[in-house]
Structures are given as C-alpha cells and as structure tokens.
C-alpha cells in the first residue's frame, strides 16, 4: 500500500469531522467550549470581482460585509500591531495581500462603514501593473486583461486613510522559499520596504510572505527588518506567540466556516492537522 494512502484517508476523515463540527457549532456554539479564544488575523485578497475574472480568494461584497459586521459585533477589530495583546474580547485584525484594485473600490467603503482598520500588503514593483503579464503570472490571476493592482494614486489614497496600514509583500511577489542569494533577499525584502517608505512617506513595520512560503535565511532578513510578519498557516495568535510568523485565517471561507475557525476548538484541530502533516 502506498504511504500516501493513510495520509489521504486521515485527511478525508479530518475533513468529515471538521464539516460536522462546523455544522454543530453553527447550532450550539460548541467550538467555544474550550474557553476564551485566542486572537485572529483574517486574510483577504480580492473583493467583489466578477466570478470568472480568475482572482484567487475572491469574495463578494455581501460576504465581506457580513464578515466585517460579525467581527465588529463579536470581537474587537484592531490594527495588526495590536493583535498579540489581550483586550476585553477576542481581537481580530483584517489583512489584504497583493493590494488589488478591489481594495479601494469595494473593500474600503465597507471598512469605513464599520470603522474597521485593515493592513494592505503591497508589492511596490507591481503597483500600477507596469508589466501586466508578469503581474498576472506572479499573482496567479487568469481571466481577461485589465487592471489588477492599485495604481500609484489609489495607493496614495489608501496611505492617507487613517483606517489603513501599508505593509510589505516583497518587491515582486516572489516565492521566498526558492531564494537563497543575499542580493535577491535584500532587493525583495529590505529594498522593497525602503521603496514603500520613501515613495509614500510612511513607516513600514509589517511583512506578509507571498504564498506563505519562506526559508530560514529569508525569515532572518524579514525579522531583522520588520516588527511583524504573517504567513498563511491557519492558526490563531496569542500574547506568547511573538510577532513573527503569525498565522492567518483564510477569510475566503463561507461565513459559517469562518465563525468556526475563530474558535479555540478549531485552532486546536488546525494545529493537529499541520503537525501531523509535518508543516510548521
């Protein structure tokens, strides 16, 4: 028997268990039985793009509004810089990777309606789509040609908005797990941060790993040059976790699934799954 069979069966079983727990939690709130939940970082990409436009993680404006409403009613929505500290309730930070054009167009009005802060992670070399083919390849976007990333003027409007914090997402959305030479790491991480700071007159302290991928040397450079960093591992965060390599929940999930993901029971299940798979 192939060694992958037990792993595949285990994942299928875990998926079935998770599906049942999501449904039960929706009726009973059982996922919160483990006590007060740790804090959560939500990860978004595109909001309200056409369904056939080829955007990863695209959510409708209605779903985004529903989620923002839920977290503002049931948690404290805070800037990313405050996510590792305790509040009166569970804290939630909202983040967007890639600085797509739908952030100012579709997401920002909803954030403003609920007075909800968010961090937008930017690839400075991709702002304004200077090379449309490269942009679509790096961001894995299909569909018809057209604007993908915010323009310079749109980014400046985000910079000027008090609800928005700008973070670094590497210069060109490179997979850092494949980069080992110091010159490229410097250009993609440190120089990208310096470009954002000098071009837009801001301080950049947060970093998001493209694809959630990294290697030991890349992490060392990020941690030496930024105060915070986030991945794509679906973990909640707490005061003892530190400010680097923080997990995020995919907010692309249906609302019922996302509400389950915010619970301590879900966090335990996610960690067991990752540890069992040898990830993280």
**What are 132-180's pLDDT values in tens digits?**
999 999 998 987 778 999 999 999 999 999 999 999 999 999 999 999 9
* Residues 45-49, mean pLDDT to the nearest whole number: 96
pLDDT at residue 218 is higher than 50: yes
Give the pLDDT score at 4.
42
pLDDT band at 213 (very low <50, low <70, confident <90, very high): very high
pLDDT at residue 224 is higher than 50: yes
Decide: 192 and 170 in contact? Cβ < 8 Å: yes
Distance CA 44, CA 250 (A): 7
* Residues 28-36, mean pLDDT to the nearest whole number: 57
Angle, helices 264-276 vs 4-28, to 10°: value is 180
Question: What are the backbone dihedrals phi and psi of residue 161, each rounded to the nearest 5 degrees, phi first?
Answer: -85, 125
Q: What is the pLDDT of residues 93-118, one digit of tens each?
A: 999 999 999 999 999 999 999 999 99
pLDDT band at 243 (very low <50, low <70, confident <90, very high): very high
Give the pLDDT score at 7.
62
Task: Pick 133 or 12 by higher pLDDT.
Answer: 133
How big is the chain, counted in residues? 280
- pLDDT > 70: percent of the chain: 85
Q: Which of 20-24, 91-95, 159-163, 236-240 has the lowest mean pLDDT?
A: 20-24
CA distances from 254 to 113, 161, 269 (A): 21, 29, 18
Distance CA 48, CA 64 (A): 9
Distance CA 189, CA 265 (A): 35
Q: What is the pLDDT of residues 119-137, one digit of tens each?
A: 999 999 999 999 999 999 9
pLDDT at residue 6 is higher than 50: no
The two three-digit tokens of residue 14, written as one number:
């875990």
Q: Name every residue whose Cβ is closer than 8 Å to that of residue 16 and which is 6 or more positions away in sequence.
A: none
pLDDT at residue 230 is higher than 50: yes
Give the pLDDT score at 276.
57
Local structure of residue 38 (DSSP, 8 states): P
Question: Which residue, 133, 128, 138, is CA-closest to 174?
Answer: 138
Question: Which residue, 259, 243, 241, is CA-closest to 251?
Answer: 259
The two three-digit tokens of residue 236, written as one number:
């909640």
* Residues 180-196, mean pLDDT to the nearest whole number: 98
Q: Which of 13-17, 21-25, 70-74, 198-202 has the lowest mean pLDDT?
A: 21-25
* Residues 84-90, mean pLDDT to the nearest whole number: 92
pLDDT at residue 13 is higher than 70: no
Q: Which of 3-12, 79-88, 131-140, 174-183 has the lowest mean pLDDT?
A: 3-12
């Amino acid at each position: 028997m192939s060694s992958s069979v037990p792993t595949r069966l285990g994942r299928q079983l875990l998926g079935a268990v998770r599906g049942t727990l999501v449904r039960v939690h929706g009726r009973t709130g059982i996922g919160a039985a483990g006590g007060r939940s740790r804090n959560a970082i939500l990860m978004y990409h595109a909001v309200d793009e056409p369904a056939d436009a080829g955007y990863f993680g695209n959510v409708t404006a209605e779903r985004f509004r529903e989620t923002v409403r839920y977290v503002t009613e049931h948690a404290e929505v805070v800037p990313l810089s405050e996510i590792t500290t305790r509040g009166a309730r569970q804290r939630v930070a909202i983040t967007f990777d890639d600085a797509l054009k739908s952030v100012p167009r579709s997401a920002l009005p909803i954030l403003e309606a609920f007075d909800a802060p968010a961090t937008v992670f930017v690839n400075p070399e991709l702002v304004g789509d200077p090379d449309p083919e490269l942009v679509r390849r790096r961001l894995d976007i299909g569909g018809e040609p057209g604007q993908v990333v915010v323009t310079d003027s749109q980014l400046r409007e985000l910079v000027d908005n008090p609800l928005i914090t700008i973070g670094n997402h590497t210069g060109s959305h490179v997979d850092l797990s494949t980069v080992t030479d110091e010159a490229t790491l410097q250009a993609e991480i440190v120089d990208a941060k310096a470009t954002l700071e000098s071009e837009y007159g801001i301080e950049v302290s947060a970093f998001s790993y493209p694809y959630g991928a990294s290697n030991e040397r890349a992490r060392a450079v990020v941690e030496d040059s930024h105060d915070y960093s986030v991945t794509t591992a679906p973990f909640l965060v707490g005061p003892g976790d530190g400010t680097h390599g923080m997990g995020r929940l995919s907010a692309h999930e249906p609302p019922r699934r996302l509400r389950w993901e915010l619970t301590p029971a879900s966090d335990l299940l996610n960690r067991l799954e990752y540890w069992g798979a040898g990830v993280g």
